[in-house]
């Protein structure tokens, strides 16, 4: 297998093209500009369509139009731009249309800065836009995983007819790693629901407007049944050094990489620390965290935010064991040494208590 050296932003784009993405719509914003630039150069050559939109709002609505015809479509942005896309993501959920949305997160709120951050966790995992819906959220931690998850995101989006978000950050987008790229998808499943012009058949319409309250309620519960299926089939996580762990770190994306480095250092000193890395942030790997809480003495949650995923960890742990949070918001990227000190400190406290 041939390895190529690629940045995360290029990997998002190339993986999407190989997944059969036919339409990309986007608006420039740092730190994900290389993604759109790659699409502008390579997507038309692959028989697809690249449009630089006038705004993030327009981009997501172009995606809706393309997706309604059955085309695989993607848009990408970074935090402030993702806020603008929320209207369209809500409509995608209402219409039950697939679509892939990449968020290369940066510091916030407001314009914030252009450094890597994880402050959009709440927005991503709670639907983000208005109304009662969820969006599957993938959180890659390596460029190879960017390739694999982006490729897979199109299948998940099509299978469940739902928008799928990939939550990266400036670090994921900018760093380069060797990757193995998948083969290009040749045939896609026929989408019977797509609008193609009525031809000789009956006309169809897509509407999110359901004025009858009981019908709207029915639609809401129908979406919930779909979300239950997604929870059952698509929840993903990685366990690292968890077999004999007494203390577990929980982190995703860039912070999970850093936490891994910290655990490697601690293991050399015989500290029994491990890592649970959620790969899907929604659905959240609640079950494994709940299970783990029965056998470890403490959990430490690392995020490049002031504490968002820690709420989901607490909901999973349900007070069984203490959950410590350590966050670096604002675009600060922590180091393995920093994390290893935190884990070591908490580990020592457990030891003191039990001795």
Partner 1 sequence: MKLKNKWPKYYKKDVVTHYCPGCGHGIVHRLVAELMEELDVGKRAICVNPAGCAVLAYKYFDIDMLESAHGRGTAMATGIKRARPDLFVFTYQGDGDLSAIGTAETIHSANRGEHISVIFINNAVYGMTGGQMAPTTLLGMKTTTTPSGRNPGYDGYPLHITDVVATFPGVIYAERVAVDGPAGIQKTKRAIRNAFQTQIDGLGYSIVEVLSACPTNWKMTPAQSFKWITEVMTTEFPLGVLADRRKKG
User: Is residue 113 a contact point for partner 1 (CB under 8 A)?
Assistant: no
Q: Hey, which residues between 128 and 147 contact partner 1 (CB under 8 A)? A: none
Cα(63)–Cα(90) distance, integer angstroms: 13
Of 204 and 222, which CB lies nearer to partner 1 in the complex structure? 204
Cα(116)–Cα(192) distance, integer angstroms: 40
**H or E segment and range at residue 101:** strand 99-105
Q: Please choose, out of 17-25, 120-128, 224-232, 256-264, the segment that lies near partner 1 by the rule CB under 8 A.
A: 17-25
User: Is residue 191 a contact point for partner 1 (CB under 8 A)?
Assistant: no
Of 16 and 323, which CB lies nearer to partner 1 in the complex structure? 16
Q: Please choose, out of 66-74, 153-161, 256-264, 321-329, the segment that lies near partner 1 by the rule CB under 8 A.
A: 66-74
What number of other Cβ atoms are within 10 A of residue 144's Cβ?
18
Q: What angle do CA 261, 264, 269 make, to 5 degrees?
A: 135
Q: Which of 55, 233, 306, 335 binds partner 1 (CB under 8 A)?
A: 55
Residue 251 in contact with residue 171, Cβ under 8 Å? no
What number of other Cβ atoms are within 10 A of residue 88's Cβ?
24
Cα(35)–Cα(297) distance, integer angstroms: 42
User: Is residue 87 a contact point for partner 1 (CB under 8 A)?
Assistant: yes
User: Is residue 62 a contact point for partner 1 (CB under 8 A)?
Assistant: yes
Cα(155)–Cα(276) distance, integer angstroms: 25
Of 44 and 178, which CB lies nearer to partner 1 in the complex structure? 44
Q: Which of 11, 13, 64, 251 binds partner 1 (CB under 8 A)?
A: 64
* Helical axes 33-42 vs 8-18, angle rounded to 10°: 40
Q: What angle do CA 87, 134, 194 make, to 5 degrees?
A: 70
Q: Hey, which residues between 206 and 245 contact partner 1 (CB under 8 A)? A: 206-209
* CB of residue 261 to partner 1, shortest distance in Å: 42
Query: Any bridge partners for residue 113, and if so which?
Result: none
Q: Which of 189, 192, 203, 214 binds partner 1 (CB under 8 A)?
A: 203
* CB of residue 199 to partner 1, shortest distance in Å: 5
Residues at the contact surface with partner 1, assessed by CB under 8 A: 22-23, 25, 49, 51, 53-55, 57-59, 61-69, 71, 73, 87-88, 91, 95, 195-200, 203-209
């Amino acid at each position: 297998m041939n390895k190529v050296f690629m940045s995360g932003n290029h990997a998002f784009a190339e993986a999407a093209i190989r997944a059969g993405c036919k339409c990309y719509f986007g608006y420039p914003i740092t730190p994900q500009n290389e993604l759109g630039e790659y699409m502008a150069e390579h997507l038309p050559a692959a028989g697809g369509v690249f449009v630089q939109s006038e705004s993030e709002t327009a981009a997501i609505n172009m995606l809706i139009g393309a997706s309604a015809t059955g085309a695989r479509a993607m848009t990408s942005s970074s935090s402030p731009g993702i806020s603008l896309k929320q209207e369209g993501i809500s409509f995608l959920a209402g219409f039950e249309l697939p679509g892939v949305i990449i968020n290369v997160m940066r510091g916030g709120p407001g314009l914030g800065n252009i450094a890597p951050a994880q402050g959009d966790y709440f927005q991503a995992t709670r639907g983000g836009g208005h109304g009662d819906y969820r969006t599957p959220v993938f959180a890659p931690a390596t460029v190879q995983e960017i390739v694999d998850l982006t490729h897979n995101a199109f299948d998940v989006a099509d299978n469940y007819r739902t928008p799928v978000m990939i939550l990266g950050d400036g670090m994921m987008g900018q760093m380069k790693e060797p990757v193995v790229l998948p083969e290009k998808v040749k045939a896609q499943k026929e989408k019977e629901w797509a609008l193609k012009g009525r031809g000789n058949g009956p006309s169809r319409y897509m509407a999110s407007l359901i004025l009858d309250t009981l019908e709207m309620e029915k639609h809401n519960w129908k979406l919930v049944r779909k979300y239950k299926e997604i929870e059952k089939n698509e929840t993903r996580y990685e366990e690292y050094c968890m077999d004999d762990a007494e203390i577990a770190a929980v982190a995703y994306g860039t912070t999970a990489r850093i936490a891994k480095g910290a655990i490697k250092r601690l293991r050399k000193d015989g500290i029994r620390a491990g890592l649970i890395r959620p790969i899907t942030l929604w659905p959240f790997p609640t079950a494994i965290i709940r299970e783990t809480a029965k056998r470890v003495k403490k959990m430490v949650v690392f995020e490049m935010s002031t504490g968002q995923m820690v709420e989901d960890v607490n909901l999973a742990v349900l007070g069984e064991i203490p959950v410590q949070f350590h966050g670096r918001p604002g675009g600060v990227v922590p180091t393995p040494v920093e994390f290893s000190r935190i884990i070591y400190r908490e580990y020592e406290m457990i030891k003191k208590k039990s001795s």
